[in-house]
Homo-oligomer: A and B are copies of this chain.
Amino acid sequence: MGVTRSEIFSEEQNQLSAWLKAMAHPARLAILQRILVANTCICGDLVDELGLAQATISQHLKELKNAGIIQGTIEGVSVCYCINPTTWKTIQDKLGGLFNAYKPINNCC
């Protein structure tokens, strides 16, 4: 016991929750915001800007990358991370569908 029972949920529910989970940490939100603002980004910058150790930043970047939200290319000695456009659009659409599904016409609660 103690492990999420993914098998009883739909593939879509599991995928969306995985994306949300990847984003659901202040450090990872900060990283994403930093990438969005800079329109590019390097790991070393983040270590200076956020107050976390290099190993920790690297781990957070890895999680965002594993989720497919960002992608990185080697840029000489450093690594350049940026948004994965396809995944970004997909999450945006799925969340749009979820949030727009709410119609505040009921008055029961």
Contact = CB atoms under 8 A, between A and B. Distances in A.
A104 B16 CA distance: 22
A99 B88 contact: yes
A18 to B, nearest CB: 8
Q: How many copies does the complex hold?
A: 2
A86 to B, nearest CB: 10
Interface in A58-102: 71-73, 80-83, 85, 88, 91-92, 95, 98-99, 101-102
Interface residues of A, number: 53
A54 interface: no
A71 B109 contact: yes
Nearest to A104: B85
